[in-house]
Amino acid sequence: MSPRPAGGRCAPPWASPEDGGVSAGDGRGEARANAPIPDLAPPPRLLMGPGPVDADPRVLRAMAMPLIGQFDPAFTAYMNEVMALYRRVFRTGNRWTFLVDGTARAGIEALLTSMIEPGDRVLVPIFGRFGHLLREIALRSGAEVTVIETAWGTVFEPGRIAEAITRHRPKIVALVHGDTSTTMAQPLAEVGAACRAADALLYVDATATLGGMAVRVDDWRLDAVSAGLQKCLSGPPGSAPITFNERVSAVVEPRRHIEEGLQGPEYHPGSGARVQSNYFDLAMLMDYWSEARLNHHTEATSMLYAAREAARVALEEGLEARIARHRLAGRALVAGIQAMGLGVFGDLAHKMDNVTGVVIPPEVEGEAVRAILREDFGIEIGTSFGPLHGRIWRIGTMGYACRKSCVLTCLAALETALRHTGHTPPPHAGVDAALTVYRAAEA
């Protein structure tokens, strides 16, 4: 309970002495409030959850580079380089390929709020938590949303999405590629073709797959795609690479408005409805990232450095080699999990290569295992949401943490944690099975 100081006014909750806040009277609270806060010393961890995962040291080094002004020619050159690098990462010729500042959902929100005008019909096929997120953002943007759903742990037959497109005639289809909540990856190529045939725009959330699984924007005719840095691209959360084609810019351009105070004499506002968000107004972002360099937000300098380095690292490895590395780690992890007598969640034919759902044996307390992994081994694996809460762990093998040593260490630690919590897997079976997969690939 917060003390009631003289004068009868209630102390605000932040003034509670328990919280180190200032309480009236004896001065001890004040001393506590002024106590030095220690240096940052995050505990060393191997991050093998569904993201964030360990950042590549090169990305962290890039973030330590000095700041320069956002209109410094050196910085605008970096912006252009980022656009060129992400065209290659997204495998697209799209002119409009740039960063939205914020975590992955900032990219989702910028694309959807700018593509959707109130009353537009949007179809959202939902196969996990992030489909629900797309639905919510579409609803907030004023769309008339129709959803189709499939059970968590499955994906849609592409024909089912095509049929829903024909029935509902949406302006936009919004779809997740790899949904980390269920570990499933929705095949996209046929959906792209179905959207083109019905003249619908296809938006895809590739947050969890870009840089780790194939995402072929142009080949698959994806009109708009967003991602994040903190999964297969091995950067910190806080920058969302996006790309969109001219079918999308044709929808956004008529909504172009320039902020008061920046308008020149030639300015004529677009005839379309103004995008309801200023920060996520794609037309304004396009003006900022184009030669016009019209001031909008202050680009997040260190995050741009991070995104630039993350893309360079991915492209230096080669996208195909990187995808193969993720596929191999996923196969080795699944072999190890199964050899320990544990179930792998969901439809294995459509499982993401980079995230694996492990069914928690009924005799084991899932959080106790996670605590042992974290406290004794310094390894983080993920819990799960909604209908899967308490039923599966999610193990990520992504980006910098997608290495043979990480997979083997994680399996060895998991075996011990299981033994301490009531499930006894055959000794060494997990590590041996994973190693066999790696040895075969290396032969």
Ligand X SMILES: Cc1ncc(COP(=O)(O)O)c(C=O)c1O
Tell me which of 113, 114, 146, 180 binds ligand X, using CB under 6 A. 180
Segment near ligand X (CB under 6 A); pick from 36-44, 110-118, 173-181, 304-312: 173-181
Tell me which of 54, 56, 120, 205 binds ligand X, using CB under 6 A. 205
Segment near ligand X (CB under 6 A); pick from 88-96, 98-106, 361-369, 407-415: 98-106
For residues 247 and 111, is the Cβ–Cβ distance under 8 A?
no
Tell me which of 51, 153, 211, 425 binds ligand X, using CB under 6 A. 51
285 or 435: CB nearest ligand X: 285
Cα-Cα-Cα-Cα dihedral of 312, 107, 212, 306, to 10°? Answer: 30
Distances (CA, A) of 23 to 36, 84, 357: 18, 56, 48
Q: The tokens of 353 are what? A: 């290569």
Question: Does 105 participate in binding ligand X (rule CB under 6 A)?
Answer: yes
Segment near ligand X (CB under 6 A); pick from 7-15, 204-212, 243-251, 342-350: 204-212
Tell me which of 90, 96, 127, 130 binds ligand X, using CB under 6 A. 130
Segment near ligand X (CB under 6 A); pick from 203-211, 284-292, 312-320, 332-340: 203-211
Segment near ligand X (CB under 6 A); pick from 21-29, 100-108, 109-117, 391-399: 100-108
366 or 382: CB nearest ligand X: 382
Reply yes or no: is the peptide bond before residue 52 cis, omega within 30 of 0.
yes
For residues 350 and 155, is the Cβ–Cβ distance under 8 A?
yes
Angle at 441 between CA 436 and CA 443, to 5 degrees: 90
Minimum Å gap between C-beta 405 and ligand X is 24
- Give the per-residue contact string, 61-90, with ligand X (x = CB under 6 A; - = no): ------------------------------
Distances (CA, A) of 111 to 208, 226, 396: 17, 8, 27
Q: What is the residue whose two structure tokens read 């899967």? A: 388
Contacts 24+ apart (CB under 8 A), 156-163: 156/125, 156/127, 156/186, 158/187, 158/190, 158/191, 158/194, 159/190, 160/125, 161/123, 161/125, 161/191, 161/194, 162/190, 162/191, 162/194
Number of residues that bind ligand X (CB under 6 A): 14
Minimum Å gap between C-beta 369 and ligand X is 21
Please give the residues from 219 up to 248 whose contact with ligand X meets the rule CB under 6 A.
228, 237
Q: Which of 427, 443, 436, 429 is nearest to 332 (CA)?
A: 436
Q: Which helix (H) or strand (E) holds 47?
A: strand 46-47
Tell me which of 56, 109, 179, 415 binds ligand X, using CB under 6 A. 179
Tell me which of 70, 103, 397, 421 binds ligand X, using CB under 6 A. 103
Q: How far apart are CA 319 and CA 321, in angstroms?
A: 6
In the complex, the residues that contact ligand X under the rule CB under 6 A are: 50-51, 103-105, 130, 176, 179-180, 205, 207-208, 228, 237
